[in-house]
């Protein structure tokens, strides 16, 4: 049996995963903003929890109990947050995080002594294996040359108005993050911010060796 537990924020899920994995394939992922990057004043499903939960989830990630870190990119215009009414049930629960995700994880991870190899495993190899995309997730002969030139020492302050998301709402507003992407390549071709070069990928079986694109 295969199970997926997306967008988790409670440390109690770690013990459940450890108990179930000997019998089932149980995949557990974290959304960047909710669990490891110390975001405040954000509406998101599941809930953003306290430092005790964050620390437990970090340890689970470092120990391999958590499979990957994902963006859960879900932008919306400001009015859909319903700040005027305070109605959590009606408000859009997603957060736009795709553009700042790599820097957010690197900023938090390097404080804990983690390396870029760790970040690549959490944010590239892990998601590619989970989605069954064998051409993705590693720099190896025969795989797609999806690459970034990443400057780990560069810093920047997040401003919603400067992001390329459709809507400028971001819980990272005003935060200084470490790490900037200087150049990206998609299947070996250099691309810039205006590129529209993506394509739909066909999902295969989750795990190493599965899938096609």
The average pLDDT across 53-67 equals 84
Res. 173: pLDDT tops 70: yes
**Token reading at 124:** 């590239």
**Token reading at 52:** 């005790």
* pLDDT for the residue numbered 64: 85
CATH of the domain at 46: 3.20.20.140
Residue 164 within any structural domain of the chain? no
For residue 116, give every residue at least 6 positions away whose Cβ sits within 8 Å of its Cβ, in sequence order, or none.
106, 150, 152
The average pLDDT across 82-89 equals 70
Higher-confidence residue of 30 and 202: namely: 202
* Nearest alpha-carbon partner for 197 in 150, 137, 132, 145: 145
Least confident of 68-77, 101-110, 142-151, 159-168: 68-77
From residue 160, alpha-carbon distances to 44, 136, 192 in Å are 17, 30, 20
Residue 31 within any structural domain of the chain? yes
Contact 19, 40 (CB under 8 A): no
Res. 199: pLDDT tops 80: no
Structural domain of residue 67, as residue ranges?
A: 2-141
For residue 202, give every residue at least 6 positions away whose Cβ sits within 8 Å of its Cβ, in sequence order, or none.
211, 212, 213
**Token reading at 79:** 């009015």
Contact 130, 29 (CB under 8 A): yes
Give the integer Cα–Cα distance in Å for 190 and 102. 19
Domain total for the chain? 1
């Amino acid at each position: 049996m295969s199970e997926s537990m997306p967008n988790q924020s409670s440390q109690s899920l770690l013990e459940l995963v450890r108990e179930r994995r000997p019998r089932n394939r149980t995949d557990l992922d974290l959304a960047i903003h909710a669990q490891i990057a110390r975001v405040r004043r954000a509406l998101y499903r599941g809930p953003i929890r306290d430092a005790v939960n964050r620390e437990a989830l970090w340890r689970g990630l470092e120990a391999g109990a958590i499979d990957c870190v994902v963006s859960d990119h879900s932008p919306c215009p400001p009015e859909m947050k319903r700040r005027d009414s305070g109605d959590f049930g009606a408000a859009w629960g997603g957060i736009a995080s795709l553009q700042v995700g790599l820097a957010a994880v690197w900023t938090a991870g390097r404080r804990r002594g983690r390396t870029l190899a760790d970040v690549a495993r959490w944010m590239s190899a892990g998601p590619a294996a989970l989605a069954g995309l064998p051409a993705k997730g590693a720099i190896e002969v025969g795989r797609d040359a999806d690459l970034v030139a990443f400057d780990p020492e560069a810093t920047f302050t997040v401003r919603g108005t400067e992001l390329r998301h459709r809507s400028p709402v971001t819980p990272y507003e005003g935060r200084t993050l470490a790490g900037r992407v200087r150049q990206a390549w998609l299947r070996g071709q250099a691309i810039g911010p205006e590129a529209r070069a993506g394509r739909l990928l066909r999902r295969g079986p989750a795990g190493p060796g599965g899938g096609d694109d």
